[in-house]
């Protein structure tokens, strides 16, 4: 499409912002832009931002531009539009997208940007075919450019800008694959001496937001550093942080990278599309830097100046601490969200260390915790009928502390569910709390949210089924639960739980054995649905199927009943009665006969 005149209004628009000088931007004519794009035909659409579609327009001289049109249905979008104009007009850097001007006509508002022919980073990095075009040199060039752009925003620009929405879809690529940060609708300006700020409206994108920001609304330059670290891991692995899945565990991408790092296998994170073209030393350095950026505590994360020095230097790097990763319920949702309206609840295995004793626990007189309330190590809540209890415990002879659910009326205290299976805590300050957004957290002595509870705020409740749920206080319909422990079984399958795979979201519900009697982390065995061919329930030892009937550490699935008279569990039934129940025991095409023994 062509446009009749490149600059359609000679006049400048003055934008006033309290305490700032007037800004001048070229104003483009709305009617001509609309005509050139065939009245905003979808054929010209480049993509969809958090609040606005983006279109491609070609000027009469052949110059291509991108037009971001504010959605009329977004009440919040007006403020984001003004914010983006006032901020970007003052920013000039080779790794930031350039703003040419804007267009305002009644309720219509548009931003005119330089056009990026190679679209965005996610167009390449998450596509099985296109990511092969990104060799090691190009990927490192993109990482370096993003780092320099963020460094400019934080330290070198006229303003100190916190982007708050760094993600792969907001990194645009020009003809030479130079990365340019775009979309500043959620950005915030900091004062010269300002360290952090707090907002009641937490906005951003799942998978890129640091946990402290998602929980409390606190953000700083270190929030962008966290998002940058996530981006680097995505660029190295070719995998999305949000929606990441792995057959051996339930971590997101950050947890997966951390697991490989601690097991001395970080090279396995690298995208197989790279083949052997990468430099192993550079890979290790990049992974190290990325993990430093996503550390749980903002104070542990480096600033962007140091990040760039570490990426480009050869000095010995510090060892990263555990990242602020969390397990999340994967549900279809908009890519950019406000946590106030988010329907997924995250259980954050924040901390590492807690003491205490199950036997010494003090039961609270309720089965519910609300925003402003918490469960400390040594306290528990009990379901209404007294069947189940929730609190901190130590398995076996271990001194590590976990949040779990166990049978209250069974003297042996059989644990049926563990929240922080791979993130134990080991000092007496452990606290389980829920904030006014329905986010459960296990924290190291940090006080829980103290906001007043209202009828609209969610609560966490231990049900008589043993299910720990986050729900509306006035709604007991299980279909409307915001989050539930039954979606994340451990080694015990309770009545009401489900095992299976959601083919839309990829969410896989399965149960897995403990590593040992003293370590509830996922062990070698798992029971899940195998979706290949006719779906069937199988037991796997690592990646290998061992039986069609499940098993924990001995290859059997047992159904047990508590005998009150004997004060012990009795095996009621076992799934694997003979060798014919063992998967592929006699070969792939064998037939079974109950009258003959296997050869």
Which distant-in-sequence residues (6+ apart) come within 8 Å of 588 by Cβ?
Answer: none
3-state secondary structure of 93: coil
d(CA 230, CA 18): 35
Instruction: Answer yes or no: 165 catalytic.
Output: yes
Q: What tokens were used for 55?
A: 């279109």
Catalytically annotated residue among 165, 250, 436, 491: 165
Distance CA 105, CA 229 (A): 40
8 Å CB contact between 530 and 545: yes
- Within 10 angstroms of residue 44's Cβ, the number of other Cβ atoms is 18
Rounded CA separation 437/537 (Å) = 36
CA distances to 217, 254, 326 from 251, rounded to whole Å, are 24, 7, 7
CA distances to 145, 248, 453, 541, 546 from 584, in Å: 53, 22, 56, 14, 8
Helix 221-237 to helix 280-293 angle, to the nearest 10 degrees? 150
CA–CA gap between residue 440 and residue 327 (Å, rounded): 11
Number of helices and strands in the chain (H, E): 9, 38
The distance of Cα 19 from the centroid of its chain, to the nearest Å, equals 37
| 50 vs 52: CA distance, rounded Å | 6
Which residues form the catalytic set?
Answer: 165
């Amino acid at each position: 499409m062509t446009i009749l005149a490149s600059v359609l209004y000679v006049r400048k628009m003055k934008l006033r912002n309290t305490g700032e000088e007037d800004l001048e931007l070229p104003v483009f004519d709305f009617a001509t832009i609309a005509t050139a794009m065939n009245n905003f035909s979808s054929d010209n659409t480049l993509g969809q931002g958090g609040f606005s579609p983006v279109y491609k327009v070609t000027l009469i001289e052949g110059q291509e531009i991108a037009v971001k049109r504010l959605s009329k249905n977004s009440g919040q979008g007006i403020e984001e539009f003004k914010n983006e104009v006032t901020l970007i007009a003052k920013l000039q850097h080779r790794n930031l997208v350039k703003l040419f001007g804007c267009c305002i006509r009644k309720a219509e508002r548009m931003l005119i940007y330089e056009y990026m022919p190679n679209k965005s980073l996610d167009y390449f990095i998450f596509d099985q075919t296109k990511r092969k075009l990104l060799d090691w040199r190009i990927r490192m060039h993109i990482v370096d450019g993003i780092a320099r752009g963020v460094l400019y925003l934080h330290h070198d620009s006229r303003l100190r800008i916190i982007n708050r929405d760094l993600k792969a879809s907001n990194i645009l690529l020009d003809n030479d694959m130079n990365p340019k940060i775009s979309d500043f609708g959620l950005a915030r300006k900091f004062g010269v001496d300002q360290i952090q700020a707090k907002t009641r409206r937490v906005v951003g994108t799942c998978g890129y937001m640091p946990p402290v920001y998602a929980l409390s609304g606190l953000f700083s330059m270190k929030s962008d550093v966290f998002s940058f670290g996530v981006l680097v891991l995505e660029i190295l692995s070719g995998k999305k942080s949000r929606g990441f899945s792995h057959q051996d565990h339930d971590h997101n991408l950050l947890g997966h990278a951390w697991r490989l790092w601690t097991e001395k296998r970080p090279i396995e994170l690298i995208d197989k599309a790279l083949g052997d073209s990468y430099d192993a030393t550079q890979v290790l350095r990049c992974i190290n830097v990325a993990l430093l950026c996503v550390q749980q505590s903002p104070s542990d994360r480096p600033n962007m100046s140091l990040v760039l020095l570490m990426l480009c230097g050869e000095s010995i790097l510090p060892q990263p601490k555990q990242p602020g990763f969390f397990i999340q319920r994967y549900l279809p949702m908009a890519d950019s969200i406000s946590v106030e309206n988010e329907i997924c609840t995250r259980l954050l295995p924040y901390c590492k260390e807690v003491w205490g004793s199950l036997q010494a626990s003090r039961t609270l007189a309720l089965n519910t915790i609300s925003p402003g309330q918490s469960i400390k190590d040594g306290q528990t809540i009990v379901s209404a009928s007294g069947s189940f209890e929730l609190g901190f415990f130590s398995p076996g002879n271990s001194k590590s502390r976990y949040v779990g659910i166990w049978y209250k009326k069974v003297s042996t205290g059989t644990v049926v569910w563990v929240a922080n299976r791979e993130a134990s805590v080991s000092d007496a300050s452990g606290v389980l709390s829920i904030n006014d957004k329905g986010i459960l957290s296990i924290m190291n002595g940090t006080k829980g949210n103290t906001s007043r509870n209202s009828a609209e705020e969610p609560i966490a409740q231990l049900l008589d089924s043993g299910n720990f749920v986050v729900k509306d206080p006035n709604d007991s319909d299980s279909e409307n639960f915001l989050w539930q422990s039954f979606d994340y079984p451990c080694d015990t399958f309770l009545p009401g739980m489900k095992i299976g795979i959601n083919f839309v979201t990829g969410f896989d519900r399965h149960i897995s054995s403990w590593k040992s009697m003293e370590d509830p982390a996922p062990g070698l065995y798992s029971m899940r649905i195998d979706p290949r061919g006719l779906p069937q329930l199988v037991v796997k030892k690592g990646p290998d199927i061992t039986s069609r009937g499940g098993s924990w550490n001995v290859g059997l699935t047992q159904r047990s009943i508590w005998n009150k008279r004997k004060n012990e569990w009795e095996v009621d039934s076992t799934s694997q009665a003979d060798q014919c129940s063992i998967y592929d025991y006699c070969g792939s095409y064998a037939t079974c006969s109950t009258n003959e023994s296997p050869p």
